[in-house]
Amino acid sequence: MTPARTARRRRSARAAGAGIALLLGGTLAAACGGGGASSAAAACTHVNRSLDLFRQSQQTTDQARSTALANQAYVELRVALPLAADAAAADGRWQALMTTLSETSEVPEKELVTALTAQCSATNLAAPGGSPPTTIPPPPPPPPQATG
């Protein structure tokens, strides 16, 4: 075997070893991270900030302030998305939260408030071994039909 070939094999073996070490390290970190609960809690911190900002934007009469608050609310939801994706990757029960957050670029926040509130409720995060919601709540019933 030539010296160049031997060197290539050593580099390949080292690279494979490093890849395995990274994979194991990531697996251990995910296992120690609470199965996605810590990432979900971080995502929900941003979601709750967003919901507060959104409510403030709906209550102010100053249009410029309302727009600024709504934009800040949107940014908080977008910051929450990768955290929710990490949570969902570690524990599939957080898929609904990730999916709802992924809709924020297409669906107005006012349409997502109910789902986000349910998915980030304190009881879901605080209950040991508790399950996060796995579905998006159904839409509200339609308004009553006018009779004439």
Residue pLDDT, tens place only, 88-112: 999 888 999 999 999 999 999 999 9
Domain count, the chain: 1
Range of the domain at 121: 35-126
Nearest to 116 by CA among 54, 39, 72: 54
Tell me what pLDDT residue 136 has.
Answer: 58
Per the CB < 8 A criterion, the answer to whether 106 and 74 are in contact is: no
Per the CB < 8 A criterion, the answer to whether 47 and 80 are in contact is: yes
Sign of the dihedral defined by the CA atoms of residues 97, 101, 106, 107, in that order: positive
User: Is 134 inside any structural domain?
Assistant: no
Q: Is the pLDDT of residue 34 over 70?
A: no
User: Is 131 inside any structural domain?
Assistant: no
